[in-house]
Every structure is written in C-alpha cells, then in structure tokens.
Structure 1
Amino acid sequence: MLVVVLLMVGAGLATSAPVRSTPQTYLIGALNLLRLHSMDRDRVDWPRAEAEAVRRAADVTAPAGTYSMIREVIAELGNPHTRLVGPASARAPLPESIDVPRSHASHGVAVVRVPGFVADPAGERRYVAAGVAALQAVEGQATCGWVVDLRDNIGGNMWPMLTVLAPLLGDGVVGSFSGPGVAPVTWSVRDGRAVRGGSAPAAETNPVRLTRPRPPIAVLTSKLTSSSGEATLVAFRGMPGVETFGAPTGGAATGNEVFDLSDGAQLLITTVVDVDRTGRIYGNVPIEPDHSVPPADAEAVAAQWVRAQGGCG
C-alpha cells in the first residue's frame, strides 16, 4: 500500500526483498531497490557507488554491518524522506499504545486533533473508531465551522487520517501522487472512505455526515507536521472555505514505497510527490501557512477566523 513515511511513521507498495544469503548479497539487493525505485536515482553514479559499497563490505559478517554503506548511498540520493530503518524501529507499536484523534468544541467551533498514525490493522481500527467518535462528539456543536489540528502529526499511514476527515473533505478527488515513470495515483473520498486510485486502502468507513455542508475549515500546522501529516494538509489545499494557520511544515510532502528486508529492517524509498486538487506540486520543501501564527496561538486565531467566516462574530 502507498504510505507516506517519516522516521518509520509512514504513502507505496509494501514489498519484500528476496532472502539474502550473505551480507554482501543483502547489500547489493538493497542498493538495487534504491536504484530501481528512487525518484532521485539519476543523482547517483551507480557503478561507482555499488563497487565502493561492495569493497567496504568485504569483511562484513552480518546484514547490520552493511547499514552504513546503504545509508551513504541514500545520502547521495539527496532526499531526506528516503531512509533505512533498523528492525527494532520497523516494528509496529501495540494498538492500545497509539495516539488517536480527539476533539473539543467551544462557541460554535469544533476542533479535531489528528495525530500521526502507524500501526497494524487492529491499530487502524482503533484509530478510525476514535476519530469517528471524536467527530460525532462535536459535530452538533460546529455551528460556525471546524478547526483541523495537524500540528503534532509527524506522519504515518495517511489513509486512516483521510478516513477520519472524510466528512470535512467531502466526496471527490482531494489530491494525488505523481512521480517519474509512474502514472498519477489519485486520492479520493467516497461515501466516508479514503480511496487510492480505484481501490480503498482504508478498510474502515466514516459514517458521520455534517449537518452544515461545506463549513469554513481552518487547518493548523507546525514544523512537526510532516510526511502523511503534510499529505493530509495537501488534501485540504485548494478547497473552498479552507485556510491554514501556524508555522511552515516539516517539508516531506512526498510518498515512499516500503520494502521489507530479510533481517527485519525496512527501506523507505521516496518514489512520488504530493499534488493537491488544483494540480499544485509539493515535495521536500516546507508548506507555508496562509496565516503565519506561533503554533501555540494558532488554534485561538483560527477559531476567531472560523467564527468570522461562519457569520458567528
């Protein structure tokens, strides 16, 4: 599945590399994945890079001993979103330990906080269920509009995030992925479900329907907003009645494919960039907010804007 990833919080097809019989073949396999899939592959002199890595790995006795060689080639790609994650960090957290969406409301403005997400299917069900409950708890109080808080969203799997926010995004195409040599892949919302291309990567559906259609929406960002947190922001960009508040984002509005290696490590290889519904292309550059506000003050300023737009004063 396409997952946007940051520090193993991860949009890409989860693919397993063949079993490697020696550290040297493990290394060659990892470099081949980078050469074949990275959108930045043309930046590297592959014959030189591979020969140097193999020379240095001649006496290595375990796959972990090749990590530094792999990371040096990743550095040559020049894409900060591409990375090698060790086996311990590649393990999904327990479902009960993950942060989940929460909400509150005040004076006609409903605020929903959408944190980053990485977990197994059980964790995804818990995350979406909590998000649905959060929206249900405040939907009746959103007489002026909504604030979507992405300030602490460092990334993960974007599809549960879009499912939680499906009632606010509305049905239709909300963005896409684009990359060299690959066909664009759309992100859509359909009947409360996030849809990638023609499939539905999020198994869960959000049944919430807004009493007030097309309300004013303010989206909050900070430098922590990154990876799939930025993809979630991009899904709102170009949408009528939406403005953003806070600080520039982390600058990783790109999508990665996740490749499982034989020792439990993972290669997160950037293959695409995010594109909003207007066709604007993003990438590894921070996304500037419409209203630059210290993140700590962003919710209050955004709520005031929502009330003004909603005719609530």
Structure 2
Amino acid sequence: MLHYSAFRLHMTLRLWLLFSLITSCRAEGKPPSPVVRKYLAEVVDIMQANSINRKTINWVEFRQNLLAQASDAQTIEQAYPAVVSAIVALGDKHSAFVPASPVKGPQAPADKQPPVYPDEPVPGDIGYIRIPWVVGNQQKMDAYIAHVQAQIKERDKVELKGWLVDLRGNMGGNMWPMLVGAGPILGEDTLGYFFTSNDIKTAWRYEKGKALLDGDAQAEAANYYTLKSANPVVAVLTDTLTASSGEAVVVAFKARKHTRSFGAGTCGVSTSRSRFYLSDGSVLLLTTAVFADRRLVPYGHSIAPDELCKSTEVVTRAIRWIREEYKAKK
C-alpha cells in the first residue's frame, strides 16, 4: 500500500502525463481550418442530396468522420485525401474525385488508355461486331458511331443466322455512342432506364439512328444503317472487364427477344454517374442512378451471363446457340 504523500505524488505524475499526452495529441492534430470545413460541407451536401446510397448512410457520422480525416488540413488542397476517403465511404464503387490541382505522388500518364481487344474470327453464317470502350470529344464520338455502324453494314448478309456482339474488355466511357453503334442490332425499342434513389426513372431508347434519353437525343448517326434481316438472333459476350457504360449495353440487350449472353460476370458498376463542380474547380463524379432493363429490372451490381463459360469456350458455345436458336425461330 502506498503512503498518502507517495500516492498524491503518484497521481500527480499520472495526471501530468495524461495532460501532456492530450495536449501533444491536440498539437499534432489541429482541427481543419474554416475554409476546409466549408469546403467539406459543400462536398457532403452534394453527396447527401444525390448519392445513390444516400438513404442508407448515417450522414451525421459521415460528416464527423470526414472532419476527422481532414484533421490538420489548413488548405483545400490538403483536404483532397479526405474527399477521396469520403468517396470510398459512399460504398458504390463507381464514384470518383477529380481534383483541380494535381495530387502529390506518382501519376499515371495522361494519355494512357486501356487496350482494345482484336476481333474474333467467325464462320460466314455468323455476324460479328465488337463494341469497344469510347471516351473523347464530339468528333471522336461521331467517328466511333460511324465506324461501328460501317462495320455492321460491311458484315451484314441476308443469310446470317445471327450476330455475336462482343463487349469483352469494354471498360466504359460514354454509353450513348455505344448504343447508337449497336443500334442496328438492338433494334428500335426502349432499351433500359436510369433509376435514382428518389425512385425517378428515365428511359433510354434507340430510334432512327438516335440514342434518346426520355425523348432527347444524346448521340446520333449521320447516316444510320438498318439490318437486311430485322430482329436477328444475338449472342452477347461479356467478361469481368465489361464495366460501366459497357454494362449499360449489356443491360440494353437484356430481355430482348432471341438474345442470350455468354462468358463471365461483368465488373459490377452497372450504375450512372453525374458530374458536380465544386467551388475550387474540382469535380465529383457521383453515382446517382442504377441501370434497369426494359422490363424495369434494376441492376447496380455485376451482371451474370445466361451461360457462364471459360474464355476459350465463349465464342464456340455462343455460335452453337445462335444456330440452334435460328432453327427454332424459323
């Protein structure tokens, strides 16, 4: 047992050590500056109003955690890592943050882009078209549409039993030129929908060479093509790299008559992003809707193929099914 004086000395030392620890922690972790706090409030306000997961997030805790992540940040640039953490915390796996100022550390080359897979050789009674990823300005979008529809026109024959639509390796970009490019095979119809967290749905449609969003043209072909044989049998090929806008095309083929998918499940970001500009010029690419097919079935996750196949078997099995379905259709 400690003597009373020794006990008081012991407790005084413990309290001094505890106070020193607290004050040192405070010194190391200053609260974010008023400018940073205002900026982070702007970020969270946008997220809370628009995120597809807004109804499942505890926003009080979310704001507290974000401020803790931004501890010591005195400038907006110093708060960027906290914004990135908030993007991850949304849990939708598709939102992104594009800072106005470069983030310190190694950066990927600005011109580095994913590869485009080569076309597959197919028999003469099978049509084939690859729908690759696409990004860029209006000129690139127009060139993309013209190229894809020109390939379809070149390969189209009355005697075709069906088409292979290859979406493997399509990592996304802009879905509208993809839908126009594939339009001759998709056919004129409502192709799918966006579903927001507010239960608002907007329809996508292909009609006369145009991709429409609730009736407004998003992309169009200068000279659109129509197949020699309408409503063909279609096999859609997917893999784990089929993502985002590539998944939108997968959804567009869902529930289409005489259509079946082959390969592997898609990446799992079958969602739509909206662009929000922040006060410093940075951009939030925020997931605001999930894709739904023409039957109004929502996705927002990996899309499983109708037939799971090894990569070495995909084309063979798809062609076999096309020929069987063509016979049955006749």
What secondary structure is seen at the aligned counterpart in 2 of 1:258?
strand
For residue 46 of structure 1, what is the aligned residue in structure 2? 59
What secondary structure is seen at the aligned counterpart in 1 of 2:215?
coil
Residues 254/62 of structure 1: CA separation in 2 closer, same or farther (3 Å cut) = same
Task: Name whichever of 49-58 and 183-192 sits farther off.
Answer: 49-58
For residue 49 of structure 2, what is the aligned residue in structure 1? 36
Distance in 2 (CA, whole Å) between partners of 1:165 and 1:233 is 11
Q: Is the 8 A contact 1:145 1:306 kept in 2?
A: yes
Distance in 2 (CA, whole Å) between partners of 1:142 and 1:156 is 34
Across the aligned residues of Structure 1 and Structure 2, the Cα RMSD in angstroms comes to 3.0
The one-letter code sitting in structure 1 at the alignment partner of 2:39 is Y
Residues 98/306 of structure 1: CA separation in 2 closer, same or farther (3 Å cut) = same
Gap runs ≥5 in structure 1? 1-20
For residue 110 of structure 1, what is the aligned residue in structure 2? 127
What secondary structure is seen at the aligned counterpart in 1 of 2:206?
strand
Task: Name whichever of 57-66 and 76-85 sits farther off.
Answer: 57-66
For residue 291 of structure 2, what is the aligned residue in structure 1? 274
C-alpha deviation, 1:26, in angstroms: 3.2
Distance in 1 (CA, whole Å) between partners of 2:321 and 2:243 is 24
Deviation string for 1:245-285 (max 9, x for gaps)?
A: 1011111111111223455543121111111112212112x
Distance in 2 (CA, whole Å) between partners of 1:201 and 1:103 is 30
Q: 1:289 is matched with which residue: 299, 305, 311? A: 305
For residue 160 of structure 2, what is the aligned residue in structure 1? 143
1:309 aligned to 2:322?
no
Distance in 1 (CA, whole Å) between partners of 2:213 and 2:118 is 22
C-alpha deviation, 1:141, in angstroms: 6.8
Residues 30/142 of structure 1: CA separation in 2 closer, same or farther (3 Å cut) = farther
Q: 1:216 is matched with which residue: 224, 233, 248? A: 233
Deviation string for 1:209-266 (max 9, x for gaps)?
A: 1111111100001111111111101111111100001011111111111223455543
Task: Name whichever of 159-168 and 204-213 sits farther off.
Answer: 204-213
C-alpha deviation, 1:45, in angstroms: 2.8
Q: Give the TM-score normalised by structure 1.
A: 0.82
Choose between structure 1 and 2 for higher RCO, CA contacts under 8 A separated by at least 6 residues.
1
Which of structures 1 and 2 has the bigger CA Rg?
Answer: 2
The one-letter code sitting in structure 2 at the alignment partner of 1:191 is K
Q: 2:148 is matched with which residue: 89, 107, 131? A: 131
Q: Is the 8 A contact 1:110 1:145 kept in 2?
A: yes
Q: Give the TM-score normalised by structure 2.
A: 0.78
Q: Is the 8 A contact 2:271 2:300 kept in 1?
A: yes
For residue 66 of structure 1, what is the aligned residue in structure 2? 79
